Structure 1
């Protein structure tokens, strides 16, 4: 993360994640633990840390977040001034965070009737 506070704003205000904890608890943070509910004991966690962005660092892989509606979340990201990594469609979509990391907005397929 080149700018921890900018990244926190993206993950909380745009993607809707909640801060469960910051490290250290007092003073200037160098790490945030984020999740869907903010309960770090029971939640799926996304950890963002202060650090230097190096050329090619976006090639590490991707972050996947399960969302109820991939299209709506991708449109929300684009409306907030960030970019889609691929054309937006129904279901799963891909966007970029402020440092250019690939975020998969995974929408589970609808359950098939039994």
Structure 2
């Protein structure tokens, strides 16, 4: 009986080695070897996010007067605006922009995810949004909160966690 166990161990070891090698060689489990784009076409930064809004001026008011963003540009520069580029500083070259465009908000368009804005106090900013007549997307709590813009887009008012003292 001991002889059988001794002869089975190398067999089991061999089977495990073969199985391990097979797993390592499966292409679907391996990281794809995708080369980085060449420097002359490599993205520099994420510039912004564009959304369609039903009332351009109402949305501009929400993002500027309630949330505190600044207009970095309007398109076209003269005449009736079709879109606004909004950011924290108003510098179109440095900000990550929220681009609001006049247009029909298609069903389901507002459920793409959320627009995240980092704020020092998520609850206070959410209370400001509610005081301006807009809706909370979830019950308010301490820290990060979620509200809706005039068209129903989900806005995450992200408050960075504070360091815990232990």
TM over 0.5: yes
Unpaired runs of at least 5, structure 2: 1-52
Which residues of 2 match residues 20-39 of structure 1 at below 5 A?
20-39=72-91
Cross-structure match for 1:19: 71
Cross-structure match for 2:129: 77
Cross-structure match for 2:105: 53
The yes-or-no answer on 1:63 pairing with 2:89 is no
Aligned residue-pair number:
113
Cross-structure match for 1:102: 154
Unpaired runs of at least 5, structure 1: none
Q: Residue 58 of structure 2 aligns to a residue in which SS? A: helix
Deviations 1:78-113 (A, max 9, x none): 000001000111111000000011100111112457
Rg bigger for which structure? 2
The runs of at least 4 consecutive aligned structure 1 residues that moved more than 4 Å come to none
CA RMSD of aligned residues (A): 1.2
Question: TM-score normalized by structure 1?
Answer: 0.93
Question: TM-score normalized by structure 2?
Answer: 0.65
Which structure has more relative contact order (CA 8 Å, sep 6+)? It is 1
More helix by share: 2
